[in-house]
């Protein structure tokens, strides 16, 4: 509350001096009240988390970014004024660590999730146990607002451990905080994504793009739209409940790869990889990670990911989503060219070269 008292004192002093307009003095007061609010964002240096942190800082909140490696998250400090955004150490597998990061917070956002297991960071420990731990300790601290970033496809009966533990995490959160807001995005895209960037990078060296689950449908959602939804939830402008977040376009995996190729101006074959072949490759990569004791990490394709890619990843019929939040989601076409241009044959000069070919001598 120190910042609030400082701002209030400044406002009173300004009024007493008579040197400032009353509206200016009131602005001091309002900013002091807002800056007294603190949100802890677990996994706030990750792809989705950093956008949530930026939005909360712009909204005037103090932000505590709870991460495993604070020294690698120092860039988040630039999202706000001096001292407004601060990375702190936290391991969500540990009660004491999670509790320390919660101290004094008015709201909590959990963005922590993994796509592949590594060592002690298993799906169960992170996505189920970690989410439940955050909600349990937040409730014990008297915190009333919690936002859980889950995923479309979360299902306790799914054949994928990823989907199962996402559902278990949701259940654990709602057990302790039934008033929580749960956001389930489809595949998330944006400048730092690991989807379009990864496959666009392949086009530089490979004549073909392998597609596991080529006909599986996705509804890609822009990362800042997800962050906007989280901001509304943290500030109390979104009612409690589960929201499935998908962008305005639904396309197959094959279609998304073709869209990416169009943006980077490259011709490559999109090869549908049969499920049995994908399973064999994933098994080999998983075994390689195991026998090397994690020294070689399988960040390419796991057996669990093959299972996930067999199911459509779109907003369910009747599910509440962006419409219920009053958000108009951004299309892929308005964002992808802004960051995939570097994968074009001539990078930023590609369009100029194409245009020059049409000049008549």
pLDDT tens, 47-67? 999 999 999 999 999 999 999
pLDDT for residue 43 is more than 50: yes
**Is 28 domain-assigned?**
no
CA-nearest of 44, 53, 141 to 95 is: 141
**Is 278 domain-assigned?**
yes
**Is 142 domain-assigned?**
yes
Q: How far apart are CA 244 and CA 258, in angstroms?
A: 25
Give residue-wise pLDDT tens across range 105-157. Answer: 999 999 999 999 988 999 999 999 999 999 999 999 999 999 999 999 999 99
**Is 32 domain-assigned?**
no
**Is 294 domain-assigned?**
yes
pLDDT for residue 38 is more than 80: yes
Which CA distances in Å does 186 have to 73, 87, 137, 149, 210?
Answer: 25, 27, 28, 11, 21
CATH number, residue 119: 3.40.50.720
**Is 321 domain-assigned?**
yes
**Is 359 domain-assigned?**
no
Q: Stretch 331-359: mean pLDDT, rounded? A: 86
pLDDT for residue 20 is more than 90: no
**pTM of the shown model:** 0.88
Count up the domains in the chain and report the number: 1
What residues make up the domain containing 123? 37-349
Give residue-wise pLDDT tens across range 262-276. Answer: 999 999 999 999 999
Q: How many of the other CB atoms lie within 10 Å of CB of 35?
A: 21
**Is 295 domain-assigned?**
yes
């Amino acid at each position: 509350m120190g910042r609030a008292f400082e701002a209030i004192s400044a406002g009173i002093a300004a009024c007493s001096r008579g040197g400032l307009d009353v509206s200016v003095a009131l602005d001091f007061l309002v900013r002091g009240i807002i800056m007294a609010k603190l949100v802890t964002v677990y996994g706030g240096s990750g792809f989705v988390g950093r956008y949530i942190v930026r939005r909360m800082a712009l909204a005037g909140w103090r932000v505590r970014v709870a991460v495993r490696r604070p020294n690698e998250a120092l860039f988040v400090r630039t999202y706000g004024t001096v001292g407004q955004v601060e990375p702190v150490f936290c391991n969500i597998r540990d009660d004491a660590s999670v509790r320390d990061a919660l101290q004094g917070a008015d709201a909590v956002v959990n963005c922590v999730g993994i796509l592949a297991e590594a060592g002690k960071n298993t799906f169960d420990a992170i996505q189920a146990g970690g989410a439940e731990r955050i909600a349990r300790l937040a409730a014990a601290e008297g915190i009333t607002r919690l936002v859980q970033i889950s995923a479309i496809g979360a299902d306790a009966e799914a054949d994928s451990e990823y989907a199962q533990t996402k559902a278990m995490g949701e259940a654990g959160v709602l057990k302790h905080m039934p008033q929580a807001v749960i956001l389930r995005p489809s595949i998330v895209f944006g400048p730092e994504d690991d989807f379009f960037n990864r496959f666009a990078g392949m086009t530089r060296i490979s004549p073909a793009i392998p597609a596991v689950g080529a006909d599986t449908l996705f509804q890609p959602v822009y990362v800042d739209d997800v962050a906007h939804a989280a901001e509304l939830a943290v500030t109390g402008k979104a009612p409690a409940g589960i929201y499935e977040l998908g962008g305005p376009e639904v396309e197959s995996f094959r279609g998304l790869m073709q869209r990416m190729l169009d943006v980077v101006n490259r011709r490559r074959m999109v090869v549908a990889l049969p499920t049995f072949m994908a399973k064999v490759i994933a098994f080999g990569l998983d075994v390689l990670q195991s026998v090397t004791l994690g020294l070689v990490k399988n960040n390419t394709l796991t057996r669990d990911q093959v299972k996930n890619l067999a199911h459509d990843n779109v907003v369910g019929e009747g599910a509440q989503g962006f419409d219920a939040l009053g958000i108009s989601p951004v299309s892929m076409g308005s964002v992808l060219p802004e960051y995939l241009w570097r994968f074009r044959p001539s990078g930023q000069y590609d369009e100029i070269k194409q245009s020059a070919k049409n000049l008549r001598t």
